[in-house]
């Protein structure tokens, strides 16, 4: 079916130069009164992409705003030992069918990547687009142990958790989950508390917020007096978020603004939250770069441990002493250095030979910067 104008997204008009220019002027009119430039963190990798693709980053800099990418890329913050546990399992056992999202297969570890290793005969890795495809594999291959290796934030967690609900209902005996589930608000708290970076405000991730709503960010305004705005993903959406944060700074009244009301309900997606609540429980988790953060991870509750791959296969998810490499992903994820601050960027580390996850994921700050900054001509 050809594209029909009736089905055209009603938002394609939001990219016009005129709109973004007017918003930039409005932002500039606010920052003009401030003595120093502002540092705002865009938490989500998809926002980083919007900012680069639309060329807004340098324009915002001219308007007195430095945008810093945050930890919002699940592939990037998942530590290597998750991949290594999966690699060990695939190379030592028969009949394992491990399913995962595409980017996850390319993350380089000291044991190789899921894409480069040779699984034991009868075992394999498969790229899927939806966790439901993994479940379908389990239904079709009762002789295989199907594992979904899923990394995600609140946006993705409900979809993956739904497959556990289904697997329970269908009494699927050969389906399990290796969850690398990460929660955004505790990570923001860790960033603010570490004080390594003086951030003046946040652009909150739009689709994480579609699930969790506005309230989980309230402590950032109330306890830390930092402003923030939930924003959508069109260039004008991001600018609207920035404008709101700048206005909050000038008025001295930080809050959680919702500039993506067409998608984000104040209470989030109640159905999805209830599903998470029923099957998952919070735990301290280790983020690449950020370290241990209390209550920032989710795993299956003990009553569903039959579906927990780490239990079923006694996987050891222990941090190991990592060989020091020059990769600075950890600092990139904290916003302490930009990708260009890494000595490998554009030289040894390129999309065709990534040295760290931030160059693998399409939401990774290094890959985004490489794609849009002309770093191809670099090094």
Binding residues for ligand SF4 (CB under 6 A): 327-329, 332, 339, 342, 344-345, 349, 355-356, 358-359, 366
310 binds, among ligand SF4, another protein, none (CB under 5 to 8 A by kind): none
Question: Does the footprint of another protein cover residue 277 (CB under 8 A)?
Answer: no
The span from the CA of 242 to the CA of 42, in Å, is 9
- Supply the minimum distance, in Å, between the C-beta of residue 176 and another protein: 18
CB of 327 to ligand SF4, least distance (A): 3
Strand (E) positions, the chain? 38-44, 65-72, 96-100, 124-127, 145-152, 175-182, 201-204, 228-230, 256-258, 280-287, 291-300
- Rounded CA-CA distance 371/366 in Å is 9
Q: How far separated are the first and last CA of the chain, in Å rounded? A: 45
If one asks whether residue 146 binds another protein (CB under 8 A), the answer comes out as no
Residue 185 interacts with another protein (CB under 8 A): yes or no: no
Residue 216 binds what, of another protein, ligand SF4, none (CB under 5 to 8 Å, by partner type)?
none
Q: Please, are residues 76 and 361 in contact by the beta-carbon 8 Å criterion?
A: yes
Name residues whose C-beta falls within 8 Å of residue 95's C-beta, 6 or more positions apart in sequence: 122, 123, 143, 144, 145
Shortest distance (Å) from residue 367 CB to ligand SF4: 8
Report how far residue 307's alpha carbon sits from residue 312's, in angstroms, rounded to the nearest whole number: 7
Q: Residue 344 binds which one of ligand SF4, another protein, none, with CB within 5 to 8 A depending on kind?
A: ligand SF4
Task: Tell whether residue 244 is a contact of another protein (CB under 8 A).
Answer: no
- Binding of another protein at residue 194 (CB under 8 A)? no
DSSP 112: B
Nearer to ligand SF4, 30 or 369 (CB): 369
> Could you say which residues in the range 18-77 bind another protein, by CB under 8 A?
18-19, 21-23, 25-26, 44-46, 72-75
CB atoms near residue 312 (< 10 Å): 15
Which of ligand SF4, another protein, none is residue 332 near (CB under 5 to 8 Å by kind)? ligand SF4
Distance CA 260, CA 16 (A): 18
The edge-to-edge listing of strands for the beta sheet with 65-72 is: 65-72, 38-44, 201-204, 228-230, 256-258
Residue 127's binding partner, choosing from ligand SF4, another protein, none, with beta-carbon cut-off 5 to 8 A by kind?
none
d(CA 202, CA 46): 14
Tell me the window of 88-96, 304-312, 319-327, 360-368 that interacts with another protein (CB under 8 A). 360-368
Please answer whether residues 43 and 70 qualify as being in contact, where contact means their C-beta atoms are separated by less than 8 angstroms.
yes
Minimum gap (Å) between residue 143 Cβ and another protein: 25
Choose which of 205, 216, 297, 354 interacts with another protein (CB under 8 A).
Answer: 205
Contact between 302 and another protein (CB under 8 A)?
no
Q: Can you tell me which residue has the tokens 């990547």?
A: 113
Out of another protein, ligand SF4, none, what residue 32 binds, judged by CB under 5 to 8 A for its kind, is none
Q: Report the site for another protein in 90-109 (rule: CB under 8 A).
A: 101, 103
What is the enclosing helix (H) or strand (E) of 160?
Answer: helix 157-170
**Residue 74 site contact among ligand SF4, another protein, none (CB < 5 to 8 Å, cut-off depends on kind):** another protein
Buried b (16+ CB within 10 A) or exposed e, 215-238: ebbeebbeeeebbbbbbbbbbbbb
Q: Point out which residues bind another protein (CB under 8 A).
A: 1-4, 7-11, 13-14, 16, 18-19, 21-23, 25-26, 44-46, 72-75, 101, 103, 129-133, 151-153, 155-156, 158-160, 162, 205-208, 210-211, 236, 240, 261-265, 269, 271-272, 275, 361-363
């Amino acid at each position: 079916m050809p594209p029909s104008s009736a089905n055209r997204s009603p938002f394609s008009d939001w990219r016009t130069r005129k709109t973004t220019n007017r918003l930039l002027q409005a932002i500039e009119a606010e920052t003009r009164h401030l003595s120093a430039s502002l540092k705002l963190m865009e938490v989500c990798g998809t926002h980083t992409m919007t900012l680069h693709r639309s060329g807004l980053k340098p324009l915002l800099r001219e308007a007195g705003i430095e945008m810093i990418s945050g930890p919002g890329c699940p592939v990037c913050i998942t530590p290597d030992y998750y991949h290594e546990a999966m690699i060990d399992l695939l190379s030592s056992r028969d009949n394992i069918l491990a399913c995962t999202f595409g980017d996850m297969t390319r993350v380089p570890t000291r044991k190789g990547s899921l894409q480069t290793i040779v699984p034991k005969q009868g075992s394999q890795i498969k790229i899927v687009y939806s966790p439901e495809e993994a479940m379908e594999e389990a239904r079709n291959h009762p002789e295989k142990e199907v594992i979904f290796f899923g990394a995600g934030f609140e946006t993705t967690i409900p979809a993956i958790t739904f497959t556990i609900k289904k697997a329970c209902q269908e009494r699927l005996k050969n389906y399990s989950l290796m969850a690398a589930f990460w929660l955004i608000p505790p990570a923001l708290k860790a960033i603010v508390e570490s004080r390594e970076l003086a951030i003046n405000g946040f652009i909150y991730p739009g689709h994480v917020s579609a699930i969790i709503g506005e309230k989980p960010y309230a402590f950032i305004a109330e306890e830390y007096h930092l402003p923030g705005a939930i924003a959508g993903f069109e260039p004008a959406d991001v600018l609207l978020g920035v404008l709101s944060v700048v206005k909050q700074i000038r008025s001295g009244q930080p809050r959680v603004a919702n500039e993506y009301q067409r998608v984000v309900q104040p209470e989030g997606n109640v159905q999805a939250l209830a599903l998470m609540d029923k099957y998952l429980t919070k735990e301290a988790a280790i983020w690449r770069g950020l370290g241990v953060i209390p209550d920032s991870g989710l795993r299956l509750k003990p009553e569903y441990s039959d579906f927990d791959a780490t239990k079923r296969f006694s996987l050891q998810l222990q941090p190991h002493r990592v060989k020091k490499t020059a990769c600075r992903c950890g600092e990139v994820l904290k916003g302490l250095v930009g990708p260009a601050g890494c000595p490998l960027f554009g030289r040894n580390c390129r999309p065709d030979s990534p040295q760290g996850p931030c160059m693998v994921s399409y939401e990774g700050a290094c890959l985004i910067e490489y794609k849009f900054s002309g770093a191809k001509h670099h090094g």
